[in-house]
Amino acid sequence: MSKSDAGGWKPRHRKNRTIYCSPLCGGDCKRADYDKAVRESAKLAKRLGPGWKPNVWENLGWFWQVENGVMVASERGYLYFNTRPQICVAVVKGDIEAAIATALRIARSNIRQIRNDCAAVDGGIGADD
């Protein structure tokens, strides 16, 4: 294994190219699943628009998500803000745009509530809005 192989985590073709899996994974991950993950993540990133990037990885199978630096949407329907603290605000299968709209609505509601709670404690001293 080469040094650029990241310790055996670089996927390799085997079994007439039907398996595309890292030696250290050992899950006999399928090339067709990899191709599907690449295709679906790229399609969703393009549909969501500028700034959205696909991310595909292997972990006893091929998985994917799209992210724009602030929000992450996974193939399994998880949608979360990549912030501190990291908050998952919606778990939705299907219409990702509807899930994003729901996540934004919930996040904005949470922000309003937190601002109100802070104002109740400090009377608005130190408010940054």
Using CA atoms, how far apart are residues 127 and 13, in angstroms rounded to an integer?
Answer: 57
Of residues 81 and 28, more confidence is placed in 28
pLDDT tens-place string over residues 38-58: 999 999 999 999 999 999 999
- Report domain extents, the chain: 1-68, 69-129
pLDDT tens-place string over residues 116-128: 888 888 865 655 5
Mean pLDDT (the chain) is 84
Using CA atoms, how far apart are residues 105 and 99, in angstroms rounded to an integer?
Answer: 10
DSSP state of 30: B
**pTM (predicted TM-score):** 0.75
Residue-level pLDDT at 89: 65
36, 29 Cβ separation under 8 angstroms? no
Confidence of residue 1 (pLDDT cuts 50, 70, 90): very low
